[in-house]
Structure 1
Amino acid sequence: MPSNYTTRPNKHVDRELFVELVGRCLSNTQVDRCAYVSMGGPQMADHIAMYRRNGISKLYSFDLEQNIVLRQKFNAPTYETICETHTAAELPAKLDDISQTLDVDRLIVWLDYTGAKHRGAQLAEFQTLLWSLSSGDVARVALDASLPSEKLKAGLPEKIRDQHFPAMKALLGQEFGEFNPEDFELESLNDMPTYLSACLQHLCDRTAAMFPDGSISYTPMLQTYYIDSAPMFTATILVQDAQGLPLAPDGFGYLANDWGDIESLEVPELTAREKSYLDRLLDRDAQGLTDELGYDIARAAQMSRQWSSFKKFHRFLPQFLHVEIK
Structure 2
Amino acid sequence: MSAGSSLPYRLRPNKAVDRELFLSLLMRLAPALSLEKYHYVGLGGPFLEDFRLVHARLGLERMTCVETEEEVHKRQLFNRPVASIECVHKTLEDYLDGIDFEVPAIVWFDYTEPRGITTQIERFARTIGAVPLGSVLRVTLNANPESLGKPEANEVSVEIDGAASGDRKEKPTVQEWRLARFKERVGQLFPSGLSAEDMTQKRFGFSVLRVLKLAVEKEALNFRDRQIVWALATYYKDGQAMVTAALVVCAADDAVVGDLVKGWEFNSTPDAPHRLDLPALSTLERLTMESNDEVGAKMAFKLPKSDMGEDPITVFKKFYRIYPHFSRVEL
Partner of 2:311, secondary structure, is helix
- 1:208 aligns with 220
C-alpha distance in structure 2 between counterparts of 1:269 and 1:215, whole Å: 46
Partner of 1:247, secondary structure, is helix
C-alpha distance in structure 2 between counterparts of 1:87 and 1:149, whole Å: 23
C-alpha distance in structure 1 between counterparts of 2:128 and 2:105, whole Å: 11
Q: What pairs up with 1:30-45 in 2 under 5 angstroms?
A: 30-45=34-49
Supply the AA of the counterpart residue of 1:314. Answer: Y
Q: Tell me whether 1:314 sits opposite 2:320 in the alignment.
A: yes
Partner of 1:253, secondary structure, is coil
Partner of 1:141, secondary structure, is strand
Higher alpha-carbon deviation: 301-310 or 262-271: 301-310
The answer (yes or no) to whether the contact 1:297–1:303 under 8 Å persists in 2 is: no
Supply the AA of the counterpart residue of 2:207. Answer: Y
C-alpha distance in structure 1 between counterparts of 2:234 and 2:306, whole Å: 24
Gapped runs of 5+ residues in structure 1? none
C-alpha displacement at 1:160, in angstroms? Answer: 7.5
Q: Tell me whether 1:240 sits opposite 2:247 in the alignment.
A: no
Q: Tell me whether 1:277 sits opposite 2:301 in the alignment.
A: no
C-alpha distance in structure 2 between counterparts of 1:246 and 1:293, whole Å: 45
Work out the number of aligned pairs and report it: 310
- 1:305 aligns with 311
Gapped runs of 5+ residues in structure 2? 157-168
Q: What pairs up with 1:34-73 in 2 under 5 angstroms?
A: 34-73=38-77
Supply the AA of the counterpart residue of 2:282. Answer: T
C-alpha distance in structure 1 between counterparts of 2:251 and 2:148, whole Å: 43
160 and 138 in structure 1: CA distance in 2 versus 1, 3 angstrom threshold: farther
Partner of 2:327, secondary structure, is coil
Alpha-carbon RMSD across the aligned residues, in angstroms, is 2.5
295 and 81 in structure 1: CA distance in 2 versus 1, 3 angstrom threshold: same
C-alpha distance in structure 2 between counterparts of 1:255 and 1:94, whole Å: 33
- 2:164 aligns with none
- 1:219 aligns with 229
The answer (yes or no) to whether the contact 2:107–2:138 under 8 Å persists in 1 is: yes
Supply the AA of the counterpart residue of 2:219. Answer: T
C-alpha distance in structure 1 between counterparts of 2:88 and 2:56, whole Å: 22
- 1:164 aligns with 174
Supply the AA of the counterpart residue of 2:140. Answer: A
C-alpha distance in structure 1 between counterparts of 2:307 and 2:98, whole Å: 48
The answer (yes or no) to whether the contact 2:30–2:36 under 8 Å persists in 1 is: no
Q: Name the TM-score, length of structure 1 as normaliser.
A: 0.86
C-alpha distance in structure 2 between counterparts of 1:229 and 1:301, whole Å: 11
Partner of 1:183, secondary structure, is coil
C-alpha distance in structure 2 between counterparts of 1:71 and 1:92, whole Å: 22
C-alpha distance in structure 1 between counterparts of 2:204 and 2:310, whole Å: 22
**Which deviations, in whole Å up to 9, do the C-alpha atoms of 1:82-124 show, x marking residues without a partner?**
110111221321341xx44xxxx22111111113222112112
C-alpha displacement at 1:61, in angstroms? Answer: 0.7
Q: Name the TM-score, length of structure 2 as normaliser.
A: 0.85
Supply the AA of the counterpart residue of 1:42. Answer: P
Identity across matched positions, percent: 25
C-alpha distance in structure 1 between counterparts of 2:304 and 2:250, whole Å: 42
